[in-house]
A and B are shown apart, each in its own frame.
Chain A
């Protein structure tokens, strides 16, 4: 079970998976060169949605396909500091498609 955590602070809007930096997957698709953001709908949240799903699913193509809905339904509601695990992501994907 992986744990994804995000936090805004003096170091930036930082996201980790099991304590290690989450790969933004810029090499596959760049929605926002400026990196991750959340709590709204936009390029930064879309990048985050894609990166989380790519890591969770292990499938970049599937992640890209699902990233728009995940950004709109999940990432847009993340707090200043947030935490989600693999089971919660699966539950969100099942609920939101």
Chain B
């Protein structure tokens, strides 16, 4: 059950969403852009060898670490030149969704769930830049595989993030990886740990690698944890002096 403050934020945020905004169209656009990039790259991959195909897991790992880094150091920290990202995320997304109420209500709320389409374009431009370098020093196949994998990872991210914020989990709770990231990300929305823990949005690999997971488990346990809460660390911080409660305030210790 959300606090009055969260409810007030949702009301204020929704009031400023443009009346023409359509959440379904937003999602269609994201997947049209990503799908077009994926289709173009696949069309231009010809008889890749094993080494070129090995680019896929390398890009998957790189994208996972990049997602972790961007979330931890840009989306959750006020940094010069990147304040727009921090404001949209820490000051908006994390006020709209908290551990008390982490789910969206309507497709209009997709405004605060999905990245704007230009973010995907920027990401694909970066991937294409890297692909250009790879094409020069290695092969066109490797370059196309790099960009295709990056496009796939972006669309994977958007889908998994939506899975974390959708209310109905009757099917999602049974899907491996999805159930893991859903618990992982909802825990991340606990204000006590949101600035430091559970920074992955797809597979909690980098969180495990860099010790920022709220779980005390090995790699396989972390990736396939599902909804299990038995391994949540006992030493996680708790906030104090909160003014975001249903009644009164919690005094500082």
- Say yes or no: is A66 at the interface (Cβ < 8 Å to chain B): no
**Which residues from chain B contact A78 at a C-beta distance below 8 Å?**
239-241
- Say yes or no: is B211 at the interface (Cβ < 8 Å to chain A): no
**Which residues from chain B contact A12 at a C-beta distance below 8 Å?**
87, 91
Would you call B5 and A74 a contact (CB within 8 A)?
no
Binary flags per residue of B241-253, CB closer than 8 Å to A gives 1, else 0: 1111000010111
Would you call A88 and B244 a contact (CB within 8 A)?
no
Tell me how far the C-beta of A94 lies from the nearest C-beta in chain B, rounded to whole angstroms: 12
Interface size class for chain B? Answer: 35 or more
Tell me how far the C-beta of B199 lies from the nearest C-beta in chain A, rounded to whole angstroms: 12
Partner of B244, one of A13, A37, A80, A84: A80
The total of Cβ contacts below 8 Å across the A-B interface reads 94
Tell me how far the C-beta of B251 lies from the nearest C-beta in chain A, rounded to whole angstroms: 6
Q: Which residues of A are interface residues toward B (Cβ below 8 A)?
A: 5, 7-10, 12-13, 32-35, 37, 39-40, 42, 44, 74, 76-84, 88-89, 91-92, 95
Binary flags per residue of B135-164, CB closer than 8 Å to A gives 1, else 0: 000000000000000000000000000000
Beyond A13-B78, A35-B78, A82-B241, 4 additional contacts (C-beta under 8 Å) are A10-B12, A33-B80, A84-B241, A89-B252
**7 interchain pairs (CB within 8 A)?**
A10-B16, A39-B194, A39-B195, A40-B76, A79-B241, A79-B243, A81-B243
- Say yes or no: is B132 at the interface (Cβ < 8 Å to chain A): no
User: How far apart are the CA atoms of A36 and B83 in the complex, in Å?
Assistant: 13
**CB-nearest residue of chain A to B193:** A39
Would you call A77 and B237 a contact (CB within 8 A)?
yes
User: How far apart are the CA atoms of A7 and B243 in the complex, in Å?
Assistant: 9
Tell me how far the C-beta of A10 lies from the nearest C-beta in chain B, rounded to whole angstroms: 7
Would you call B83 and A34 a contact (CB within 8 A)?
yes
A81 with B252, Cβ < 8 A, contacts A9-B95, A34-B83 known: no
Q: In this complex, which of B16, B192, B243 has the most chain A Cβ atoms within 10 angstroms of its Cβ?
A: B243
Would you call A79 and B79 a contact (CB within 8 A)?
no
A77 with B238, Cβ < 8 A, contacts A5-B243, A8-B91 known: yes
**CB-nearest residue of chain A to B196:** A40
User: How far apart are the CA atoms of A68 and B83 in the complex, in Å?
Assistant: 25
User: How far apart are the CA atoms of A75 and B192 in the complex, in Å?
Assistant: 12
- Say yes or no: is B94 at the interface (Cβ < 8 Å to chain A): yes
